[in-house]
A and B are shown apart, each in its own frame.
Chain A
Amino acid sequence: MLERFLTLPAPIMGTIAAILVVFAVVLPAAMFMVLWERIFLGKLTQRPGPNRVGPRGLLQTAADALKLLSKEDFDPKNADHALFYWAPVFFMLPSFLVYAVVPFGKFGGSYGPALISDLRVGLFFIVAVFSIHTVAIMMAGWGSNNKYSLLGGIRGVAQAISYELPLVFSFLGVILLTGSLSTVRIVEAQSGGVWNWYIVAQPVAFLVYLVCSIAEVNRVPFDIPEAESELVSGYNTEYSGMRFAMFFLAEYASLFATSAIAVTVFLGGWTAPFPEPAVITQSPLGYFVWSAFWFAFKVFGLITLAIWIRGTLPRLRADQLMNFAWKFLVPVVLANVFATGLLGFVVKSGNGLGSWWPVALGTWLALGGWLVLGWATAPKAERRKVAY
C-alpha cells in the first residue's frame, strides 16, 4: 500500500500533500482566529479578553471545544431530522472546498504541496461552492422547526442572494484584466510587487468585495441572520454540542476562506509586496516558506480588519441591508466592470503587465472625484469635524 503510494506520479503526490496541508492548517487556524478575535475585540473595548486557560489564555478555544464535545447532542422532537443533521456539514463544506483552487505558496518552479488543483474555472468554482452556505443556512433554519431559526434562515438566504451578485461582479474586473478565471494565473499576473496587485487597478471592486464577503459570512454589521439580541442566534438556535461547534468553527473557517480569496484576487496571493530577491527562489522549501508566509500574513491582516470592523459598526436593519446591496453596490460594481472594460481595452496601452494603468488611473480618479463631490454637496454641518 505504502509502496504504491510512494510510487504515485509527482503531481498526485503534490495534490495529496496539499490536501493534508490544508486540513492541518485551516482547522487550527480557525481555532486560533476565534481566540484572536476575542483578544482583539477585548483590546478594542478595553478588556483583557480570555486570559485564564493555559498561558495567557492560549488554550481557551481548546477548552471551549472540549466543553462543546462533551455536551448533549440535542435534537428537537419535531425537527426535520435529515435536514437538521446535515446542515452543519453543508455549512462547513464550502469553507474547505474553496481551498481546492487557492494557491497559498510556491514550491520552487511549480506549486507542489501549495496548491490542490489549478482549475481553469477557479474563480467560477469558488463562487459556485460558496453558495452552498446559503443552502445550509436554509436547511438549518427550516429543519429546526422553530420560528426564530426559520426567520434567521430566511434572512440569511435573502441576504446571501443579494450580496452574492455584487460579490461575483467584483471579480469580473479582475477577470477582464487577467483574461483568465484561473486563480493561479490571477496570482501570477500580480507578482513583482505591490504596484502590480489588483487592489491598485480595482480599488472599487476590492471595497465591494470586502463588504460583500463580510455579508456572505454573516458577520457584524451584516449579522441579521443570527442576531443574538432579536433572533436568539437565528438559524443555530436549536443546535448544541458538536453541531453547534461545527457551525461556530465553520463561520471562522469561511471568514478565513473569504480572506484567502480576497488575498488571491486582489492582494497578490502568495507574492511578496516587493520584487523577490533571487536568493529566495533557489531552494524549493525556502521559497515555499517565504511565499506561504506572505500569504498567511495578508490573510491575517484581512481577518484582523474584519474583527476591527466587528468591534466598530452596529448591525444594519434588514431593509437598509437590501437597499445597500441592490441600490448601491450593484450599480457601483457594474459601473466598475464597464469602466474596466472601456479603459482596459479601448484606451489600451500595449500588452503585458503594465497595460492596465489607464484602468487604475480611471478608477482612482472616479473614486476620489466621487468622494470630493460628496464632500462638496454635503450639507455644511456635515463637513465640519464631528465632536465626540
Chain B
Amino acid sequence: MPAIDLDRAWKLHPQVSVRPEPFGALVYHFGTRTLSFLKDRTLLAVVDSLADHPSARAACAAAGVTEPELPRYAQALATLARSSMLVERS
C-alpha cells in the first residue's frame, strides 16, 4: 500500500460526506459511490480537521495521536487517500 505524505496538506474530497456515529464515522463519496468506516473517534477528529492544518502530521498531533500511534493513523489516511476520499491541498 502506498504511504501518505504526512508532511503535506490534505483535505476531504469535495464530494465526500462524513457522518459521525457512536463507533467513529461513516464516510461516503458521492462520486465513486463508496462507503468507508472510520472505526475510532480520534481518526474522525483527524479527518475532520485536515483542512485546518498545514500537514496531516499536524492534524494528527492536534487530535492527540501519539508518536507510537502515528503509523496506524498514517495507514488509515493512506487508505482514504487511495480511494480518493482525501485529496491534497495545493
Partners in one complex: no
Interface set of A (CB-CB < 8 Å, partner B)? none
Interface set of B (CB-CB < 8 Å, partner A)? none
